[in-house]
Amino acid sequence: MSLLEVRQLTAGYGPVEVLHGIDLDVEQGEMVVILGANGAGKTTTMRAVSGMIPRSGSVMFDGVDITKTNAEKLVGMGIAHVPQGRGTFPDLTVLDNLRVGAYSRSADISGDIERWFEVFPRLAERRDQRAGSLSGGEQQMLAIARALMSHPKLLLCDEPSLGLAPLITQEVFEVLKKLNNDEGLSVLLVEQNANLALKVAKRVYLLETGSVVASGPAAEIASDDAIRKAYLGA
């Protein structure tokens, strides 16, 4: 049984249907990436999985049907979502951002905070600074750290490279890779930068106008000439 099992997922905004029946799986400890052009429905998929928008079809998480569960509850069940364009709280300090991340838990969190400060030393230096005053890369790291504060089993990460310099992007991806390898954290990633994503991900879904048009192991997709030409721009 997969950790996340999505079947025939349809969702959209108001009367407009964006996703037309998507099947998608994420295994325990797996890093999966969703690729696709602008407007293919990548972000919508993420938002539908985490319950931010109304959806139909079936979404199973850890053996539980979560199709009808709303976003606020999913965090407690183990899904953390880092939305596109930095999911930080700009008016709150770095420390408070992390505290908000642990809102769904009642345990002592000071150990966790220290731990993420070790992983992201730059955040530690700025712990009392407003998140809005951080650089783009720092904000992205804060958003990820904030999401991890809830001890998720699955991390949804929506275009972490958006608006970041290549070097910073590298850094963010290395952290994700490390979490995936060392901690066994399952990750579902949406990414525009296909070459980078294919290097870290195990499996790939290719989205086109709201439907999955291809899927398979990252290595296979990366070596498929037709797909490379059509989607990966190389």
Partner 1 sequence: MERFFQYLFDGLSLGSIYALLALGLVVVFRGTGHLNFAQGEMAMICTFVVWQFNDWGIPLVVSIILGMIVGFALGAGVEATIIRGVAKKSQAGVFVVSIALFLGLNSLAAMVWGNLPPEQLPGLFPDEPDDFQRIFGAVWRYEYIGVLAVALLLMGLLFLLFAKTKFGLAMRAVASNPESARLAGIPTGIVLASSWGIAGAMGALSGTLWGGIVGELNAGLMFTVFIYASAAATLGGFDSPGGAVVAGLAIGVGEQFLAGYFPGWIGQEMKLSAALLTIFVVLLIKPSGLFGSTKVERV
Q: Which stretch binds partner 1 (CB under 8 A): 71-79, 112-120, 172-180, 189-197?
A: 71-79
Name which of 76 and 217 has its Cβ closer to partner 1.
76
H helix or E strand, kind and range, residue 232: none
Angle at 51 between CA 47 and CA 53, to 5 degrees: 65
The amino acid that residue 138 corresponds to is E
Torsion angles phi and psi, residue 161, rounded to 5 = -85, -5
Radius of gyration of the chain (CA): 17
Name which of 61 and 231 has its Cβ closer to partner 1.
61
Torsion angles phi and psi, residue 175, rounded to 5 = -60, -45
Cβ at position 234, least distance to partner 1 in Å: 34
Restricting to residues 78-97, name those near partner 1 by CB under 8 A: 80-81, 83, 87-92, 96
Cβ at position 77, least distance to partner 1 in Å: 10
The one-character DSSP state at 107 is S
Name which of 9 and 74 has its Cβ closer to partner 1.
74
Q: Which residues bind partner 1 (CB under 8 A)?
A: 50, 52, 71-76, 80-81, 83, 87-92, 96, 99-101, 103-104, 143, 146-147, 150
